[in-house]
Structure 1
Amino acid sequence: MAARDYGQYSGITQAMEIVGERWALLIVRDLLVGPRRYGELAAGLPRIPTNILAARLKELQAAGVIRRAPRSRVIVYELTPYGRELEPVILALGAWGFKAMGDPREEQIITPDSMTMDLRTTFRPDVAATLPATAYAAHFGSTELLIRVDGPSLDVRRGDGAADLAFASGPGIRRLIAGELAPDRAIESGVVQVLSGQGNLLHRFADTFHLAA
C-alpha cells in the first residue's frame, strides 16, 4: 500500500509504512478533532499539494485508518475505530515535539484543529478536577475556540461564545503553556491580551494546560 517499504517485519515498521509518509499523521490529527470534507482538510493544511492530499487519503483508506462517509448530502472523511487508536500516539508525539519547540517563525500559523489537539495534548485532567468549571473564549489570530473545562472533562469547539475569560494570543501562547512565562507577565508583555472577564483566570488556564519544555 505505502510507497515506502522498509523491508523489515515488525510492528513499528508496519506503522511507519501506513502513517510515515509526509502529511499522513497531520491528516489523522485533524480528523481526531472531527470528520472533515476534502476542502476542509485542504484548508487546515494550507501547504499540502492537492495531489499529495488525494494520495494520502487514498492510502489511509486502503489501510483501514479512515473512511469516506455521507453526511447531509456531502462526503466527509472520518477515522475508523482502528484509526482512532492513533489518538494516544498523536498526543504523545505532540508532547514530545512540544519540548523541542522554540519561538515561531513568521510564516507559521495556528489552525483550529492544530490548536485543539495542542490543548488536548497539554490538558491536565488531574489538575482540572480540583478547579471550578471554567469556559475560555480564545482568539489565536483568525482562529476562535471556545474551551470548556468541567472537572476532568475538556470540550473544545470552533467559534466564540459566553466565557469566564476571553483572551487573544498568537503562537507565543506556547511560552505560557510551557511555564516559561508567568500569566501576569504574559499579560504585561502583550503575549496574552485579556478581552473580557477576570485576568486572574489566566492562572487557572496555565495550571490546566501545562507541559514543561
Structure 2
Amino acid sequence: MKLEKVTESGRAKRWYDDACGTALALEIVGERWALLIMRELVYGPRRFGEVRANLPGISANVLTQRLESLEAAGVVVRRRLPSPANVQVYDLTDWGREAAPLMRQLGAWAARSPRHDKFAFMSPASAVMSLETLVVPERLAGKAMTVALRFPDDRFMVSVENGRLHVERGERADADVTFTGDTMALRVTVYGKAPFTADGANGGLALAGDTAAAHAFVEMFELPETITAPGVE
C-alpha cells in the first residue's frame, strides 16, 4: 500500500499530532456520546428519537452534532426506510460495525472497575451487548437454543449454536424461551441468578417456555471479578 501524505485541507483538524491508530480512533469516536451512539446502532438502524430516548442526558443539538461528525468520518450513514415506514434512520456503515467487538472488549475491561454501577440505566441495546460481552465461551459448548427478549420498546433474539452466541434485533415465534421485562429485570435474572417466575414478581424477567433451557441460558453468563487496586474507589 502506497503511503500518502494527508494535508490539513484534506481532513478535519487533528486533536493529536500522532500517527498511532489509537490516536486516530479517539479523533473519530472520542467525543462524548459518540461511542454510545454507535452502540445504539450496532443491531440495526434507528430513528433520531429512538437513539435519543436511549441516551439519557443527551440533548437534541449534541446528538445532531455527533451524528454529523460520525457521518463525516464514514462511521454512520443516513438513509430513508422504504414504505410503509418511510422514515429517516441512522445506521452504521460496514466499517462502523467493525467496531462492535472493540466496544464489547472495552466494556468487559471497564466492568471490572470498582466504579462500575451495575444498577445504572441500561438501554436494550446496551443490555444485549452485555450478554455478548459477559458470556463465558466454554459454557456454550453443546448448547443449542433460541431466546426471545421482549423489552418494553424493543425486541431481540439470542441464538446459541455451534459454540457461538448471536444477537439480532427482532423476534421469531419459534423461540425455546421468551423473557419479558426491562433491562434491570434482565440483570436481576441473568447476572443476579434470581429464580424464574411466570410474571417476574421477584423483580426478574417473566419466563415463558422451556424452563430447563432458560436455566442453561442464564448459566452461560457471569459478571467479571472486580479489581482491587490501591487508591481506586
State the Cα RMSD in Å. Answer: 3.1
Q: Is the aligned partner of 1:130 residue 2:142?
A: yes
| Corresponding letter in the other structure for 2:102 | V
Structure 1 position 38, deviation (Å): 2.0
Tell me the alpha carbon deviations over residues 79-99 of structure 1, each in whole angstroms, 9 at most, x when there is no partner: 223212212211101212222
- In the TM superposition, 1:23-34 aligns within 5 A as 23-34=33-44
State the match for 2:61 in structure 1: 51
What TM-score does the superposition give when structure 2 sets the normalisation length? 0.71
8 Å contact 2:186–2:205 — kept in the other structure?
no
CA distance in structure 1 between the aligned counterparts of 2:138 and 2:172, rounded to whole angstroms: 26
State the match for 1:204 in structure 2: 216
Change (3 A) 1:6 1:114: same
Consecutive unaligned residues of structure 2, counting only runs of 5 or more, are 1-10, 226-233
Q: Is the aligned partner of 1:14 residue 2:24?
A: yes
Structure 1 position 140, deviation (Å): 5.0
Change (3 A) 1:60 1:103: closer
Structure 1 position 52, deviation (Å): 0.5
- In the TM superposition, 1:1-213 aligns within 5 A as 5-72=15-82, 73-100=86-113, 101-105=116-120, 108=121, 110-131=122-143, 133-139=144-150, 144-151=155-162, 152-158=164-170, 161-168=173-180, 170-171=183-184, 173-174=186-187, 177-178=190-191, 181=192, 183=193, 185-187=194-196, 190-213=202-225
Structure 1 position 21, deviation (Å): 0.5
| Corresponding letter in the other structure for 1:134 | M
**SS of residue matched to 2:96:** helix
Change (3 A) 1:61 1:167: closer
Tell me the alpha carbon deviations over residues 62-107 of structure 1, each in whole angstroms, 9 at most, x when there is no partner: 11111223321433222223212212211101212222334414xx
Change (3 A) 1:31 1:140: closer
Q: If each structure's helix is expressed as a fraction of its own residues, which one has the higher value?
A: 1
CA distance in structure 2 between the aligned counterparts of 1:3 and 1:174, rounded to whole angstroms: 42
Count of residue correspondences: 205
8 Å contact 1:177–1:206 — kept in the other structure?
yes
CA distance in structure 2 between the aligned counterparts of 1:47 and 1:134, rounded to whole angstroms: 37
Which of structures 1 and 2 has the bigger CA Rg? 2
Structure 1 position 5, deviation (Å): 1.7
8 Å contact 2:128–2:167 — kept in the other structure?
no
| Corresponding letter in the other structure for 1:104 | F
Structure 1 position 211, deviation (Å): 4.2
What TM-score does the superposition give when structure 1 sets the normalisation length? 0.77
Consecutive unaligned residues of structure 1, counting only runs of 5 or more, are none
8 Å contact 2:47–2:90 — kept in the other structure?
yes
CA distance in structure 2 between the aligned counterparts of 1:5 and 1:74, rounded to whole angstroms: 35
CA distance in structure 1 between the aligned counterparts of 2:149 and 2:68, rounded to whole angstroms: 35
8 Å contact 1:137–1:162 — kept in the other structure?
no
8 Å contact 2:43–2:169 — kept in the other structure?
no
| Corresponding letter in the other structure for 1:204 | A
8 Å contact 1:167–1:192 — kept in the other structure?
no
